[in-house]
């Protein structure tokens, strides 16, 4: 889930320009940044792009980063803490293992 | 608790040494021999607009100041416990690497002079240390639109109404990045958009929120 930039050059807590980007102002720009992000970091997972109202980041408290696991019933199984401190992939992995063990047919 | 304190002091001292080595390369020698309070004052003295860059600050003095709230020049066991509690944001009664780093970053950015100084629209200065500056929304290099939106999101992240375990995950309908892997379990709707609600029943879904920076 690609959401609003945490440290854009024109933001409140920017990274140096050499390592950052301007905050995308429309969906096209956002898509471009998402694309270079995916390329640079060699992402292999499907990547969704949040809308410019930041609806998803808002609904999930996903900014600046966060993990969730949603069960087959559409209910949240695991809500990670707010990132970056609460961003703990190990916790997610453990929860995911539990879910998959409980219903082996649901393997990803 | 005791071994925790000792380990923590070791970690704090180490990180200060590293920071000092990196940031105070031009720190003049007598500073090291001054009492902590005096060093802290010297740091304050340097906050004037004529001082430039991060090289002439002393994070160690600031850290000691935080560890010695009554300012008597010594750190007692209870002051140290209080300090640990302050840093221990995940509440496990231990200060880990991340927590220490977060605090040191905050100290460093607070010490940096000129973080509100007028910068051109090209914004973010390179700072060598990798630390980040904090700017005001009125800074000429800051996009008001972006700043306001990020503040809204920060608030949302802190708010109480987020979906926790057992709650229905809010649906979304978003575009999939072109060229990003679209395995057969990802099924766009008639408009080519991805809905969470159309990806249930079969597999659990992991949502990873984040941005480039």
The pLDDT confidence band at residue B72, using thresholds 50, 70 and 90, is confident
In angstroms, the CA B37 to CA B195 distance is 58
pTM: predicted TM-score of the whole model, two decimal places: 0.59
**pLDDT per residue as tens digits for the range A55-87:** 999 999 999 999 999 999 999 999 999 999 999
> Which is higher by pLDDT, B91 or A42?
A42
The pLDDT assigned to A75 comes to 96
When pLDDT is cut at 50, 70 and 90, the band that residue B8 belongs to is: low
Average pLDDT in the B17-41 region? 45
Of the partner residues A14, A81, A106, the one whose CB lies closest to the CB of residue B133: A14
CA–CA dist A11, A63 (Å, integer)? 14
Q: Worst-scoring range by mean pLDDT, A7-16, A94-103, B16-25?
A: B16-25
* Cβ contact B71:B61 at 8 Å: no
Mutate to test the interface with B, among A1, A4, A13 (most CBs of B within 10 A): A13
The verdict on A91 touching B (C-beta cutoff 8 Å) is no
Residue B47 pLDDT exceeds 50: no
- pLDDT band at residue A104 using 50, 70 and 90 as cut-offs: low
Of A5, A13, A21, the CB nearest to B132: A13
For chain A, the distance separating the N- and C-terminal CA atoms, rounded to the nearest angstrom, is: 18
Residue B5 has pLDDT above 50, yes or no: yes
* Chain A residues touching residue B197 (CB < 8 angstroms): 74
Write phi, then psi, for B209 (nearest 5 degrees): -90, 140
End-to-end CA distance of chain B: 37
A26 touches chain B (CB under 8 A): no
N residues, chain B: 213
Confidence label for B68 from pLDDT (cuts 50, 70 and 90): confident
CA closest to B97 among chain A residues: A85
HSE of B137, CA atoms in CB hemisphere, 13 A: 8
**Percent of chain B's residues with pLDDT above 70:** 61
Query: Could you tell me if A96 lies within 8 Å of chain B, comparing CB atoms?
Result: yes
| Residues B140-162, mean pLDDT to the nearest whole number | 94
- H or E element in which residue B15 lies: helix B2-23
Of B145, B162, B209, the CB nearest to A25: B145
What single DSSP character describes residue B173? E
Identify the closest residue of chain B to A12 by CA–CA distance.
B135
> Rounded CA gap, A56 and A68, in Å?
12
Taking the Cβ of residue A3 and every Cβ of chain B, the question of whether any pair is shorter than 8 Å is answered with: yes
Highest mean pLDDT among B19-23, B60-64, B114-118, B190-194: B190-194
DSSP string, B81-136: HHHHHHH-TTSSSS--HHHHHHHHHHHHHHH-TTTTS---TT-----SS-------
Give A80-99 as a DSSP string.
Answer: PPSTTTT--HHHHHHHHHHH
Q: State whether A31 and B177 contact (CB < 8 Å).
A: yes
Query: From the CA of A88, how many Å to the nearest CA of chain B?
Result: 11
CA separation for the pair B6, B119 (Å, rounded): 43
**How far apart, in whole angstroms, are the C-alpha atoms of residue A91 and residue B171?**
23
β-pair partners for B209:
A66
Enumerate the domain spans of chain A.
Answer: 1-63, 68-102
Which residue, among A23, A55, A102, would best test binding to B if mutated, counting the most B CBs under 10 Å from its CB?
A23
pLDDT band per the 50, 70, 90 thresholds, residue B69: confident
| A13, A20, A50: residue with CB nearest B174 | A50
Tell me the shortest Cα–Cα distance from A101 to chain B, in angstroms. Answer: 12
């Amino acid at each position: 889930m690609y959401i609003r930039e945490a440290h854009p050059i024109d933001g409140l807590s920017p990274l140096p320009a050499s390592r950052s980007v301007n905050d995308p102002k429309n969906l096209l720009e956002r898509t471009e940044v998402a694309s270079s992000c995916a390329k640079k970091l060699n992402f292999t997972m499907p990547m969704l792009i949040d809308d410019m109202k930041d609806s998803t980041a808002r609904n999930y408290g996903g900014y600046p980063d966060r993990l969730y696991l949603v069960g087959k019933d559409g209910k949240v199984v695991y809500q990670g803490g707010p990132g970056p401190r609460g961003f703990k992939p190990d916790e997610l992995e453990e929860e995911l293992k539990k879910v998959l063990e409980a219903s082996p047919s649901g393997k990803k | 608790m005791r071994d925790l304190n000792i380990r923590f002091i070791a970690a704090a001292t180490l990180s200060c040494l590293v920071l000092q080595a990196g940031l105070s390369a031009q720190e003049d020698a007598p500073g090291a021999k001054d009492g902590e309070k005096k060093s802290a004052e010297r740091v304050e003295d340097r906050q004037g607009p004529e001082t430039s860059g991060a090289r002439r600050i002393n994070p160690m003095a600031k850290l000691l100041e935080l560890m010695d709230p009554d300012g008597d020049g010594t750190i007692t066991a209870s002051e140290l416990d209080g300090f640990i509690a302050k840093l221990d944001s995940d509440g496990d009664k231990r200060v880990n690497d991340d927590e220490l780093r977060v605090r040191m970053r905050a100290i460093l950015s607070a010490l940096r002079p000129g973080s509100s100084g007028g910068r051109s629209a090209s914004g973010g200065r390179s700072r060598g240390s990798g630390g980040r500056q904090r700017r005001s929304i009125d800074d000429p290099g800051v996009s008001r639109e972006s700043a306001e939106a990020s503040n809204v999101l920060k608030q949302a992240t802190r708010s109480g109404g987020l979906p926790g375990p057992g709650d229905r995950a809010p649906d979304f309908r978003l575009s999939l990045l072109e060229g990003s892997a679209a395995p057969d379990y990802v099924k766009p709707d008639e408009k080519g958009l991805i809905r969470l609600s159309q990806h249930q029943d079969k597999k659990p879904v992991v949502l990873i929120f984040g941005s480039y920076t």
